[in-house]
Structure 1
Amino acid sequence: MSSQQPRYVKMHDNDNVVIIANNGGLPAGTVLDNGIELREAIPQGHKVALTDLAAGDIVRRYNVVIGYAKTDLPKGSWLNEHRLDMPAPPELDNLPIATEKTTLDPLEGYTFEGFRNPDGSVGTRNILAISTSVQCVSGVVAHAVERIRAELLPKYPNVDNVISLEHIYGCGVAIQAPDAVIPIRTLRNIARNPNFGGRTLVVSLGCEKLQADVFFPDRFIPIKNGGFQRQDENIALVTLQDEENIGFEGMIQSIMRAAEEHLIVLNKRVRTTCPISDLVIGVQCGGSDAFSGVSANPVVGYATDLFVRAGASVMFSEVTEVRDGIAQLTARAASPEVAQQLIDQMRWYDQYLGRGSADRSANTSPGNKRGGLSNIVEKAMGSIVKSGSTPIQGVVPPGERCTTRGLNFSATPASDFVCGTLQLAAGMTMHVFTTGRGTPYSLKEAPVVKVATRSDLARRWHDLMDINAGRVVDGDATIEEMGWEMFRYMIDVASGRKQTCAESLKIYNSLALFNPAPIT
């Protein structure tokens, strides 16, 4: 298909807008095949009015009201954030509760090669992770990690990597505040991620508020003469302020000795054939554009359905990016109890935003708007489709562990980094991340499969994007075809047969804790 031929995408027969698909957009005067002439130049991904709109008229995309015309807009006009008034947020009362009962046939016969842990969980990678109890130790731990990689890791070829779980929590915080439980349990559960083999190595300073018995209350107990006694041989604690650590090199040697004890055990892990039901997958979008809900997210949604049919646990997230579609979610809840949990998480977040004098409109970024997304309502409709079509079986509060097979909602902020951090805490062992504007986001704790919404982005960032869903927009592949392609690719990544682009390049983002509690 010629790039000069005017192309557009209409999501539903009832919509009164379409988005322009051509790279670079289309100039004023272009006539679409439906006879509408563009009254002005319209960028790629941006909306065109299909009918004359009077001020206050409904603007509909995805068969959903995404806004109201601010002024009279003749057909062929460009609709953007400046020309739309956003609808009020949906109420959290009188919602449809567990009314949709979509049933898909089980998908059998698919397995992957994973690392089974003593607790029965399965990792996709074999990583030594060093937890930090406070930011003060991060520089020392970073130095130790480089030494471990250079001097110890070559002796243990079955271990994929050594990483530090650095963060900015642990001291100067109101650690007894009610909401402090969120960052504390997040750090605790990240340390338990299945990709780390059930081994936990903690490096502390010694004087911080996040003491070992608060960090891991079931695995350390204080002793009379100071310090802590561990209750589990799978955990180790190195405290830099301990008297035996003489100088910087003494600290490094203490960390390296503890690390080698763990490396010996981790090196014995081998990949074994595991059912797909042992996978825990997180899906997320960032740097979204108007094509996110056209190509990449529907492809992810199709793959989500395949993994759920095969028994896997799949989490979608981002409270503010599903809030405007809450009625869709409560209708898909597997039970009234799950629907109520969804409502509770939305209400808590509404109150959290209210305390900061913010609302859901703060979500949409300048890049989202340049990519054609006028407001959070439009963005939400494209975001939700990552979840596929199966019933929502569980809701995971922020920082908690996912314990339910099937489709889960993991209640996280929409921030890419915070969402990824909380999904790691929930037990995610593989991440899928869609993007339209482009972002090099990745994680060192789990492989991240990057999906481009547009072929132009996939071409320009050819060594950063793993899958080009823009082929759907180009007419070169269907959502079903690409969903199966993604499903098979992800199994190869989970099995270690393939590395993602970010893994090959070794580019990673830091953890970002969600901490709604005060900082003192």
Structure 2
Amino acid sequence: MILDFPADAPLIRLHPDDNVAVARAALDPAAAAGLPLDFSVRDRIAQGHKMALTAIAPGEPVVKYGQVIGVASRPIARGEHVHTQNLAMADFALEHAFCAGARPTDFVPEAQRATFLGFPRPDGRAGTRNYLAVISSVNCSATVAKAVAARFAGRRGLDAFPNVDGIIPLTHGGGCAINTEAEGYLYLTRVLAGYAVHPNVGAVLMIGLGCETNQIHLLLKRHGLVEGDALRSLTIQGTGGTRASIAAGVAAVEAMLPALDAVRRVPCPAAHLTLALECGGSDGYSGISANPALGHAADLLVRNGGTAVLAETPEIYGAEHLLTRRAATPAVAEKLLARIDWWRDYAARGRAELNNNPSFGNKAGGLTTILEKSLGAVAKGGGTRLNAVYEYAEPITERGFVFMDTPGYDPVAVTGQVAGGCNVVAFTTGRGSVSGFKPAPTLKLATNSAMFARMSEDMDIDCGTIVDGRETVAEVGERIFRAVLDTASGRPSLSETFDYGDNEFVPWQVGAVM
């Protein structure tokens, strides 16, 4: 990425081949003095939106990041606002140079690698938090699961257990009327099992109704889990109804708390960190500031032995060639393209298409096509080689930079990443997303300083300093990396300060509900 206009210039051009630039601040035709090009602004151009640097004829490509983001749907004059009124989506043949950009990782010498204070787990992993999770196997047991957790809300009854971060209910809308051989059932059980063994969860109570398709004993057997002192279950029908089950659930939680509290934070290598890379409520600055800065932080984590997990397959669509170029092996590249093909089929089955426009908020923030959004989103993945591609909620076992196939819908995507083992989340946003994602602490990264100031109670890091030239991408990336380490060591994110994040557990429901 090249910011080749001066820091005080009103436009940002990201690559020498670009025929559009991004407005640093709102531009008005009546006050266009100081532009680094010899022409006038023809339209009012909002902050973060695009302006044409050259005349573009109908059907000609519009280029940003040095990549095609669409074609002109009508003549575009120099200085004109480029957006939905004159920029259209188009199909382009992508050139895949498998593994051409995959280079060995420049690891930090082991003795100098970063560390954090984490909770060691029996399986050799380390948590950044120490929660007890109350998991419902089916929607029919969600009320009881929430009621059990509510008995401990606001840390009621937890004063004697200072090392326990809280009791969290993990409830959902599925669990029955599904085919046990279908993708939807596999995804759901992967998610529930992934959270049950998550490094940030030290004890688990599973609650079922009793007659549901998603039987707890079958779920545990399928994923190799065994009940014991830190993993207990009950069914409402077997226990004698809702009130009896709530009482039994509270008793089970209380019995598990002493052992959970006995775990202490100890120094752990950064190799135990698995960072979810997510963006939502994006704007025209996402691919300029927060996303590349997070990519730099991801590279630092990988160089220190950790893992960074990119996701949201529909939001890498059109930019997948940048990832296959970095694939460690041709098989990794092929697996990524196979997931893209799956999505084409999935979208067709739902009478949708991957060539969709960004959301209302994305458009308002300056993003016009999915190609433009995807090119900015991929920047979160930094520049290290792509070591593996995982299906939704699969356990992440490969270290380094990896990809997980998820929808672009933020709560569903992050639920899959956390189920896979992500124990910290970094979430970039230009419009102001406010999700929390317990049990994984979540850092919110603002793409622009105006929104950061407006939503200062929700945004952890201001990346808008890149836009106005106060910091470089590398400098902000270093800040993000240090914030990840501090958060992993126990410093609360802002969402944790307000105890947010209970409602973002959303497993992906795929397939027929009968």
Corresponding residue of 1:366: 360
Distance 1:131 1:13 in 2: 52
Q: 2:298 aligns with which of 300, 304, 307?
A: 304
Distance 2:173 2:488 in 1: 30
Distance 1:241 1:253 in 2: 14
**CA deviation after TM superposition for structure 1 residue 6, in Å:** 5.7
Corresponding residue of 2:236: 240
Q: 1:119 aligns with which of 108, 123, 126?
A: 123
Distance 1:372 1:399 in 2: 32
Corresponding residue of 1:137: 141
Judge conservation of contact 1:190–1:424 (CA < 8 Å) in 2: yes
* Structure 2 CA distance for partners of 1:114 and 1:272, relative to 1, 3 Å: same
Deviates more, 1:135-144 or 1:455-464: 135-144
* Structure 2 CA distance for partners of 1:90 and 1:416, relative to 1, 3 Å: farther
**CA deviation after TM superposition for structure 1 residue 172, in Å:** 2.8
Deviates more, 1:414-423 or 1:168-177: 168-177
**CA deviation after TM superposition for structure 1 residue 506, in Å:** 1.5
Distance 2:145 2:23 in 1: 50
SS of the aligned residue for 1:73 comes to: coil
Corresponding residue of 2:495: 502
Judge conservation of contact 1:447–1:493 (CA < 8 Å) in 2: yes
**CA deviation after TM superposition for structure 1 residue 200, in Å:** 2.6
Distance 2:246 2:346 in 1: 41
Distance 1:351 1:219 in 2: 28
Corresponding residue of 2:4: none
* Structure 2 CA distance for partners of 1:79 and 1:340, relative to 1, 3 Å: same
Partner AA of 2:151 in structure 1 = R
**CA deviation after TM superposition for structure 1 residue 501, in Å:** 0.8
**CA deviation after TM superposition for structure 1 residue 121, in Å:** 1.0
Distance 1:105 1:341 in 2: 25
Deviating 4+ runs (over 6 angstroms): none
Corresponding residue of 1:282: 276
**CA deviation after TM superposition for structure 1 residue 159, in Å:** 0.4
Judge conservation of contact 1:54–1:72 (CA < 8 Å) in 2: yes
Q: 2:32 aligns with which of 23, 30, 33?
A: 30
Corresponding residue of 1:226: none
Corresponding residue of 2:375: 381
SS of the aligned residue for 1:262 comes to: helix
TM-score with structure 1 length normalisation?
Answer: 0.93
SS of the aligned residue for 2:54 comes to: coil
* Structure 2 CA distance for partners of 1:25 and 1:44, relative to 1, 3 Å: farther
Judge conservation of contact 1:55–1:71 (CA < 8 Å) in 2: yes
Judge conservation of contact 1:134–1:167 (CA < 8 Å) in 2: yes
Verify: 1:147 aligned to 2:141, yes or no. Answer: no
Partner AA of 1:416 in structure 2 = D
Verify: 1:515 aligned to 2:509, yes or no. Answer: yes
Partner AA of 1:158 in structure 2 = N
Distance 1:102 1:62 in 2: 22
Gaps of 5+ in 2: 1-7
**CA deviation after TM superposition for structure 1 residue 177, in Å:** 2.7
Q: 1:76 aligns with which of 52, 74, 79?
A: 79
Distance 1:449 1:151 in 2: 26
Distance 2:234 2:107 in 1: 47
TM-score with structure 2 length normalisation?
Answer: 0.94
Verify: 1:97 aligned to 2:98, yes or no. Answer: yes
Partner AA of 1:355 in structure 2 = R
Judge conservation of contact 2:205–2:233 (CA < 8 Å) in 1: yes
Corresponding residue of 1:474: 468
SS of the aligned residue for 1:369 comes to: helix
Corresponding residue of 1:56: 59
Partner AA of 1:61 in structure 2 = K
Judge conservation of contact 1:102–1:389 (CA < 8 Å) in 2: no
Judge conservation of contact 1:166–1:510 (CA < 8 Å) in 2: no
Q: Deviations over 1:288-307 (max 9, x none)?
A: 11100000001001000000
Q: Deviations over 1:190-223 (max 9, x none)?
A: 22211002x33101111111111232115899xx
**CA deviation after TM superposition for structure 1 residue 500, in Å:** 0.8
Judge conservation of contact 1:57–1:69 (CA < 8 Å) in 2: yes
**CA deviation after TM superposition for structure 1 residue 179, in Å:** 4.3
Partner AA of 1:74 in structure 2 = A
SS of the aligned residue for 1:332 comes to: coil
Q: 2:321 aligns with which of 327, 337, 345?
A: 327
Q: 2:254 aligns with which of 250, 260, 264?
A: 260
Verify: 1:210 aligned to 2:203, yes or no. Answer: no
**CA deviation after TM superposition for structure 1 residue 369, in Å:** 0.7
SS of the aligned residue for 2:425 comes to: strand
The percentage of counterpart residues that share the same residue type is 35
Distance 2:308 2:468 in 1: 28
Distance 1:423 1:474 in 2: 32
**CA deviation after TM superposition for structure 1 residue 258, in Å:** 1.2
Gaps of 5+ in 1: 222-229
Q: 1:337 aligns with which of 331, 340, 349?
A: 331
Judge conservation of contact 2:23–2:50 (CA < 8 Å) in 1: yes
Q: Deviations over 1:79-105 (max 9, x none)?
A: 1022112121546xx732111133443
Q: 1:176 aligns with which of 167, 174, 181?
A: 181
SS of the aligned residue for 2:251 comes to: helix
Corresponding residue of 1:86: 89
Q: Deviations over 1:292-328 (max 9, x none)?
A: 0000001001000000000001101110111211111
Distance 2:78 2:223 in 1: 66
Distance 2:30 2:221 in 1: 65
SS of the aligned residue for 1:81 comes to: coil
Deviates more, 1:504-513 or 1:384-393: 504-513
* Structure 2 CA distance for partners of 1:214 and 1:36, relative to 1, 3 Å: farther
SS of the aligned residue for 1:95 comes to: coil
